[in-house]
């Protein structure tokens, strides 16, 4: 998915699940999102992290 779509999806997930969400670049150049505790990929591929508890 595109970065704007991934960011909107990540914001929605973070607000709903109340967990940090990682936006990362997949191998094919698209973006994807996953809860931070479940991300086990390369740290260099992380584009952004959304924390619902951050001010």
Residue 23's pLDDT is: 97
Q: What is the pLDDT of residues 7-35, one digit of tens each?
A: 999 999 999 999 999 999 998 989 999 99
Task: Judge whether 36 lies within some domain.
Answer: yes
| CA-only gyration radius of the chain, Å | 10
Domain count, the chain: 1
pLDDT score of 50 more than 90: yes
**Closest to 7 (Cα-Cα) out of 52, 49, 53:** 49
Answer yes or no: is 55 within a domain.
no
The domain in which residue 11 lies consists of 3-50
Residue 39 lies in a domain: yes
**Residue 36 binned pLDDT confidence (cut-offs 50, 70, 90):** very high
pLDDT of res. 9: 95
């Amino acid at each position: 998915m595109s970065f704007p779509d991934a960011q909107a999806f990540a914001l929605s997930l973070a607000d709903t699940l109340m967990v940090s969400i990682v936006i990362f670049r997949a191998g094919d150049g698209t973006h994807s999102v996953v809860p931070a505790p479940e991300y086990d990929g390369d740290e260099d591929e992380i584009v952004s992290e959304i924390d619902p508890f951050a001010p």
